[in-house]
Amino acid sequence: MGMNQSDSSTTAFYTLDGCVSENLDETFQALLEVRKGNNQFWQNLVAREGIYTRLRDQGLEDIENRDEIPWDDATLLFTSVRMLNRDSTPIMLGENKNRERFGRFPHPTGSSLQYILDNIVPIPSQSEGLYSDLVDHLQYLTERCSEMNTGHKEFQEGKAGLIILGYITLEEVKSLRSMLLGTGWMVSREEPLDGGVRDAVRHLNALLMAAERRSAGLIHRQHQ
């Protein structure tokens, strides 16, 4: 059953932002470790020239001590890993049409990824592992930074409305693209929009290909 126009005009917009893959998981894990009272992972991370220079260029001074940085976790993660051009502007992955179609899908949440998750099922004759691996990777993007997984809401309550839902590294980008093209899943017979999953997968796959070409990881953000 499709959404009415008033619903579709108020749904959130979603983006997949290219990130420096080798810093992505390490930064996230370091921020989690700080909350456990362990600052060593963070100190090791900011010793990397790329991250050190980027944070200092943002006006931060005592970056070795996470507690001295006034930014929330969402802002610190996003600023540390966002992939930039040489002029320090954000790199935009994929074509505008793919970003637009991925960004707002005719689903109650507006999320292409949630629509896919809600409307795929395993193929009975195939290994259940192929399907569960695909679901895991989609959930890395939709809920890896959630309160359920991190124990706090700060990644979803960042400065100026920054909402980070999840992320995937470059290796996970490659794996997810392979799984989407594979035979471990099929569209549910109960799918409400004819061809909706295939359309959502097509635009997601285009963005995954763009990330792979750039050797980028991806952060999944929600914009209210």
Structural domain boundaries of the chain?
Answer: 7-223
Both tokens assigned to 167: 């992320």
pLDDT band (50, 70, 90) for residue 129: confident
pLDDT the model gives residue 109: 85
Predicted structure pTM score: 0.92
Residue 185 has pLDDT above 60, yes or no: yes
User: Under a CB-based contact definition with an 8 Å cutoff, are residues 186 and 108 in contact?
Assistant: no
pLDDT for res 108:
87
Q: Which has more pLDDT, 112 or 10?
A: 112
Q: Give the mean pLDDT of 47-62.
A: 91
> Quick one: pLDDT at residue 159?
83
The predicted pLDDT at position 33 comes to: 96
How many Cβ atoms are within 10 Å of 189's Cβ, its own excluded? Answer: 7
What CA–CA distance (Å, rounded) separates 186 from 189? 9
How would residue 9 be classed by pLDDT, with cut points 50, 70 and 90? low
State the Cα angle at 35 between 34 and 37, rounded to 5°.
65
**pLDDT confidence tier of residue 7, bands split at 50, 70 and 90:** very low
pLDDT in tens, 186-221: 999 999 999 999 999 999 999 999 999 999 999 999
pLDDT in tens, 92-127: 999 999 999 999 998 888 999 999 999 999 998 777
Paired tokens of 73: 């976790």
For 59, the token pair is 């006006």
Share of the chain above pLDDT 70, in %: 96
Residue 40 has pLDDT above 60, yes or no: yes
